């Protein structure tokens, strides 16, 4: 499933092409691509044609294009969730249909002329929707790429991501202290911190030398800070390399793959030597997926047994 870096690469690619562009036509080829939309395909098309796209914003794995022009009482946006295999591609006007194309949105850009924004999705778990924008509880911009303190209603429950300028690092550390679950499970909880999926959780935990089943609440303040720093470093490096592409499903708006797969230290490296200690990376089942880690560098802390023992865990140096 696309994670923060992959979705941000798509957002950044869309932004210059769609900002201030007028929507001239919408074609829904498969209504399964509108599972998050509350109306019919015809209503989806009618809600978009004639509107102007103001930009491109993102929170975690949710992407949206704020809309201007004739609208209901509340501001709206075209929201996209890519699911497992969704793609938003930029194509020339009149370009042949893409494989697995579900929706095509024709736009007239003041800088780039006529273009098509194509939503393609092989597994049909992704979706587009015209959604109301609601105020953010903290009064800060809704997400990356936005200056408006608004977020789509369907993404309002999603926490900010670690690269968001308004991310509350102290609040994140406090949340960890109150959770008994394993730290990887907490990192994947999009209501605690968004945008981190299986790949980048494994990579950040490897970098921070934390076992994925380490209870979040036993992390010291120092360990929590180190983990957040490693999460940010991993996401930023993945962004710089265009995201992680294992197959043709993970591409940018031009259909190009990312290269972060070549920089992975733990994820997908079962049986290969740990880049740090040389012992084999192991793979274990985790929430219908897998965890990859080094059992030597990322040891599960022993529980405290006596009242005098510290309950705080410091990862190996």
For residues 251 and 59, give the distance between their C-alpha atoms in angstroms, rounded to a whole number.
Answer: 19
Candidates 11, 51, 58, 61; catalytic one: 61
22 an active-site residue?
A: no
Does the annotation flag 157 for ligand binding?
no
Let me know if 178 is exposed, middle or buried by CB neighbors in 10 A (0-12, 13-18, 19+): exposed
DSSP 110-151: TTTEEEEEEEEESSS--EEEEEEEEE-TTSS-SSBT--SSEE
Q: Are strands 150-152 and 127-135 parallel, antiparallel or unpaired?
A: antiparallel
2 an active-site residue?
A: yes
Candidates 256, 289, 309, 316; catalytic one: 289
> Which residues lie across from 113 on neighbouring strands?
109
315 an active-site residue?
A: no
Candidates 2, 141, 162, 315; catalytic one: 2
Does the annotation flag 100 for ligand binding?
yes
For residues 72 and 70, give the distance between their C-alpha atoms in angstroms, rounded to a whole number.
Answer: 7
CA angle 168, 174, 180 (to 5 degrees): 130
Does the annotation flag 123 for ligand binding?
yes
Question: Which tokens sit at 39?
Answer: 């109306």
3-class secondary structure, 18: helix
3 an active-site residue?
A: yes
Which positions make up the binding site?
100, 123, 179
| Catalytic positions | 2-3, 61, 289
Which positions make up the binding site for DNA?
100, 123, 179
């Amino acid at each position: 499933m696309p994670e923060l870096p992959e979705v941000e690469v798509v957002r950044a690619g869309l932004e210059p092409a769609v900002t201030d562009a007028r929507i001239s036509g919408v074609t829904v080829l498969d209504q399964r691509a509108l599972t998050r939309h509350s109306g019919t395909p015809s209503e989806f098309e009618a809600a978009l044609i004639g509107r102007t796209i103001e930009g491109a914003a993102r929170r975690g794995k949710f992407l949206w294009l704020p809309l201007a022009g004739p609208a209901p009482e509340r501001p709206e946006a075209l929201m996209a969730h890519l699911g497992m295999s969704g793609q938003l591609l930029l194509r020339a006007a009149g370009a042949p249909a893409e494989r697995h194309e579900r929706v095509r949105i024709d736009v007239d850009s003041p800088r780039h002329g006529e273009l098509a924004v194509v939503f393609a999705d092989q597994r049909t778990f992704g979706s587009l929707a015209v959604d109301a924008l609601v105020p953010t509880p903290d009064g800060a911009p809704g997400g990356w790429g936005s200056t408006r303190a608004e977020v789509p209603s369907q993404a309002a429950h999603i926490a900010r991501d670690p690269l968001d300028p308004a991310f509350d690092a102290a609040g994140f550390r406090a949340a960890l202290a109150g959770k008994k679950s394993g730290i990887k499970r907490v990192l994947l909880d999009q209501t605690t911190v968004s945008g981190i999926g299986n790949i980048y959780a494994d990579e950040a935990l490897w970098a921070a030398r934390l076992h994925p089943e380490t209870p979040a609440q036993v992390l010291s303040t120092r360990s929590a800070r180190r983990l957040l720093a490693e999460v940010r470093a991993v996401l930023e490096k993945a962004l710089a390399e265009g995201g992680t592409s294992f197959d043709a499903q993970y591409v940018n708006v031009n259909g190009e793959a990312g290269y972060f797969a070549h920089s992975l230290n733990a994820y997908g490296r079962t049986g290969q030597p740990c880049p740090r200690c040389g012992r084999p990376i192991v793979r274990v089942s985790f929430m219908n997926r897998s965890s990859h880690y080094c059992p030597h560098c990322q040891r599960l802390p022993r529980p405290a047994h006596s009242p005098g023992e510290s309950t705080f865990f410091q990862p190996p140096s």
